[in-house]
A and B are shown apart, each in its own frame.
Chain A
């Protein structure tokens, strides 16, 4: 079922350069859209394709585009979300590094559909080497007449700019991103108004993920109806999955939605199985924010059906026994992993990244990190586990932006599925601490690492 659409030409040498990209049919979607379609037709094709946002929330892209307000005399903007900071996610980086022109082509076709004459790619500051790559590709696109005034002799003009952030996960949240792009702290805005009504500089704005915008290119080329046939049910198309952790072949894989999770983890085409042939313990399937699932529940649903790589199947069972596709950041843990220690890295992350605007998130993330740290340190009590549960419940749903929920869910799911590990840590902390990470890594000589400490 391997099906490459976005990554069709990934192995062609020099595909990151304009000439090679163009020789492989690059920029055809711009020609087709600008010469044979009006903007509304492009929006319709994207609607028909069933494409859903690849940034994490999975909102239907065509519908989002049709919400864009079009008041007279006010500019509208398309902003590409290349902030990619969700732990476990590195697909946008891959796409931009190896196929920068695919993103630029998608930006032009999408901007045309939205009537935007200025568009921005907001990229996380740590990816400065990608700013260099994108800027070079944009220069090539300008030089060949795909950007600038009167593209292809039509009356459509577009300027495209790259804008770096400076290290803040929260700037991936779309309204925080817009604040940041305006030169401010990345504090999420209270919604409504949504960006489609009042976004960048108060003007109607669409924010889309890198992969979403890239997918517009094949959709326009093959038509929305054809794209909708790929995948399974409401999970149309292909998805880039960033696979990491204890697997033989970490990396970015394009999958047709609907393959089984088991196939994804064990087949040689994808992850190639668990590192050192150990047993699978747990998976975080969609980036750090989604609930962690133990091996049995990630491989089969509570009803005993094989779980599939799709929005619906991963969510089957709700949070009691399911999870979410999220950003597609697929983190695999083998049998020797300490779930509590792993959770500590997530809790520390969310505490560090909370913007601090709402008390439940600002205080709650700090409390959760400290309590988990206390348990790891050997001072935990059984009541602490209940306290953790209580805190995460009080954060969820009570904050301005979904970062609060994202911080709560990993804690809730770890306790829900692995409560016994917390209890073991409390009862016998020193034995638990022996279960260390040292035995996992391929690269590092663990004996040397031990003796160096």
Chain B
């Protein structure tokens, strides 16, 4: 178990979650749970620890179990630490038809890890995922909010080289994604 540090979201995240709650009717603040977990995950290194989930429960005034059961259901929530760069490669039919297995094999070889593993230096995690709506531009992979499409092995190498020196975690969203109401 990692030490249970007190979780304090940045003022920006806290403010964003409070603002998101306004999107739902009075008393239905639980609706903000999934967006709030995304914000929490973006702030806390790309994964959701128990203390982080507990803090979300407190903010939304719901029971911790209501947060855990949701966090464990959806594939975009990571319940264990991930590398700074989370590479998600689509492996479903249309991508498979256009060489997704080659992309996965190439990344595994380049990084010396298998699907689901993280490099020892904590830089990269490889995850195969299901169709990401990029089938016409297959094969493809996603890093944070960015789609990388029509991949060649050279593109994949370029991406790996680029993210090697990246110091912050790849994110699906930031403070500017959502409109404030």
Partner of A250, one of B30, B91, B135: B135
Residues of A within 8 A of B7 (CB): none
Supposing A131-B177, A284-B93 touch, asked if A126 and B70 sit within 8 A by C-beta, the answer is no
Per-residue 0/1 for A163-189: is the Cβ within 8 Å of any B Cβ (1 yes, 0 no)?
111111100000000001111111000
Is A299 interfacial (CB 8 A cutoff)?
no
CB–CB B102/A164 < 8 A = no
Stretch of B115-123, B137-145, B159-167 contacting A (4+ beta carbons < 8 Å): B137-145
**B24-74 CB contacts (< 8 Å) to partner A:** 25, 28, 30-35, 37-38, 60, 62, 66, 69-70, 73-74
The reply to whether B94 and A87 contact each other, CB–CB distance below 8 Å, is yes
Q: Is the CB of B135 within 8 A of A441?
A: no
Q: Are A329 and B135 in contact (CB under 8 A)?
A: yes
Q: Which one of B32, B152, B178 lies within 8 Å of A135 (CB-CB)?
A: B178
8 Å CB contact of A131 from B70, B94, B173: B173
Closest partner residue, chain A, to B131 (CB atom): A87
Residues of A contacting B38 with CB < 8 Å?
125, 128, 164, 166
Chain A contact patch, size range: 35 or more
| B145-166 interface (Cβ within 8 A of A) | 145-147, 150-153
Within 8 A of A (CB), among B81-133: 91-94, 96-99, 101-103, 105-106, 109, 129-133
Flag if A85 contacts B131 (CB, 8 Å).
yes
Most buried by A among B77, B133, B152, B178: B133
A/B pair count, beta carbons within 8 Å? 209
**At the interface, yes or no: A443 with Cβ under 8 Å from chain B?**
yes
Is the C-beta of A12 less than 8 angstroms from some C-beta in chain B? no
Q: How far is the CB of B102 from chain A (nearest CB, A)?
A: 4
Asked if B18 CB lies within 8 Å of chain A CBs, one says no
Of the candidates B31, B66, B74, B93, the one whose C-beta lies within 8 Å of that of A181 is B31
Let me know if B146 and A125 touch, CB within 8 A: no
* A250 and B137 within 8 A (CB): yes
Q: Does B172 contact A (CB under 8 A)?
A: yes
- Which residues from A are CB-within-8-Å of B60? 183
A selection of 11 A-B contacts at a CB cut-off of 8 Å is: A93-B134, A126-B133, A128-B177, A164-B35, A166-B77, A245-B93, A245-B135, A250-B136, A437-B101, A440-B97, A443-B152
